[in-house]
Amino acid sequence: MPPFEPDAPPQEATAVLAVLLFGPLGERFGRRIETSIPAAGLTVAALRRRLAEHLGPGGEAVLSPAVRVCLDHTIAAEDAPVRPGREVAVLPVFSGG
């Protein structure tokens, strides 16, 4: 057992979040990935940054304004909370007629 370190920061509890990727992101990285997030959650903007880092080269595409994040089938604002258990989908902006 490691010695007690009173000045060590407490370990942050984490949870695994499944993320669905669509369009070119899904083709490149797979349709479903998992990433860890704080158990208390984070914002969509923070999730985008975490995903960009998690995906590695090319992952910065999730930061594009042409990519939307949906929570439980609804397009979410950048300050919307993402908590474990929510359905998260990352998709390009669609156009059509």
**pLDDT tens figures, 26-35:** 999 999 999 9
The CA distance from 78 to 59, in Å, is 18
**pLDDT tens figures, 53-87:** 999 999 999 999 999 999 999 999 999 999 999 99
User: pTM above 0.85?
Assistant: no
The CA distance from 60 to 91, in Å, is 14
* Residue 29 DSSP SS3: helix
pLDDT of residue 95 exceeding 70: no
Write down the pLDDT at residue 96: 55
Contact between residue 70 and residue 89 where contact means Cβ atoms under 8 Å apart:
yes
Write down the pLDDT at residue 32: 97
Q: Can you list the domains of the chain with their CATH numbers? A: 14-92 (3.10.20.30)
Residue 53: how many CB atoms within 10 A of its CB?
12
The CA distance from 40 to 15, in Å, is 9
